[in-house]
A = this chain, B = another copy of it.
């Protein structure tokens, strides 16, 4: 239900109100009001500031009829927070840029703000400001500001030959969730683990911080576009190659479930996006310090960093094949 007398100022006030109760913890961080020209943020001494932004666009990243509004709210923040986790940092506040059709300024907006607010509370990341406008399609851009102790950020560029490559969680699960969601006649069952992971991803903040605090990772990134696209990015930034073993990948079993048995768990693990798991390279002498799981989150050794630039995958017959980037790329020519 759209509101007839809606204008931009009242929209900004509604957004600010939705977060008013949650800003307590942010008060020391933020000055000024939502609606001021800009937000003021007091950086802590001894910390560096981390900045990241992410598009979340109707039709490109979500579908209005398939993705519940509160999942759109949750995920728009969670995926940007995941970039902070991938540096070993902690989120502090965010800016919300929102373009909405008039028809979405009522119930849709309330549910969106509900999901966004839950993510903001869970990740202690407070609304600092933003920009709103009207648009035929829903456009979202979220900027997250985080922090990390000086010199402790883990970049993509630090991997060295011999490092052991690890991933968290199960790969391809969110992609399976997306496929279940798209094939569902109406709204998919949000309680299915894969659908839940697609709709409500959980940035691996605690793991990222632990790896940074303990200086266990030479390089790290989050897997947002799929392992086959993201691993080459980490390698390119580090000037190294990699070799992974397909048999070691933490894939999701697909054969036992009627709804998923037509999908190849390995392909989905290599090329599926939206998992927001962490991919990290650990110096060989520290690899034994990585446990099999961290706070119930599976950690898996999947290969190692190599000299040269080749990115290889060893298949079940022990053949070494080139790993072709097959993840999400909005600019790649469709086949």
The chain A residues found within 8 Å of chain B, CB to CB, are 4, 6-9, 11, 31-33, 35-43, 45, 48-55, 57, 60, 83-84, 86-87, 89, 93, 95, 97, 99, 102, 105, 128-135, 139, 141, 143-146, 148, 150, 153, 155-157, 221-222, 233, 236-237, 329-333
Contact = CB atoms under 8 A, between A and B. Distances in A.
A6 B139 contact: no
Tally of this chain's copies: 2
A40 B49 contact: yes
A49 B129 CA distance: 13
A145 B93 CA distance: 13
A40 B36 contact: no
Contacts of A49: 40-43, 49, 145
B7 A37 contact: no
A37 B234 CA distance: 10
A38 B87 contact: yes
B9 A133 contact: no
A134 B129 CA distance: 26
Contacts of A157: 32-33, 36
B134 A331 contact: yes
Contacts of A133: 55, 57, 60, 330
The 8 lowest CB-CB distance pairs between A and B, nearest first, are: A38-B52, A43-B43, A134-B330, A141-B141, A37-B86, A41-B49, A37-B83, A143-B143
A109 to B, nearest CB: 12
Given A7-B329, A7-B331, A51 B153 contact: no
Contacts of A139: 55, 57, 139
Contact of A153 (B4, B8, B31, B35): B31
A237 B34 CA distance: 10
A134 B49 CA distance: 29
Contacts of A39: 50-52
Nearest to A232: B9
Contacts of A6: 331
A52 B221 contact: no
**Residue with the highest number of chain B CB atoms closer than 10 Å, among A57, A133, A134, A150:** A133
A332 to B, nearest CB: 5
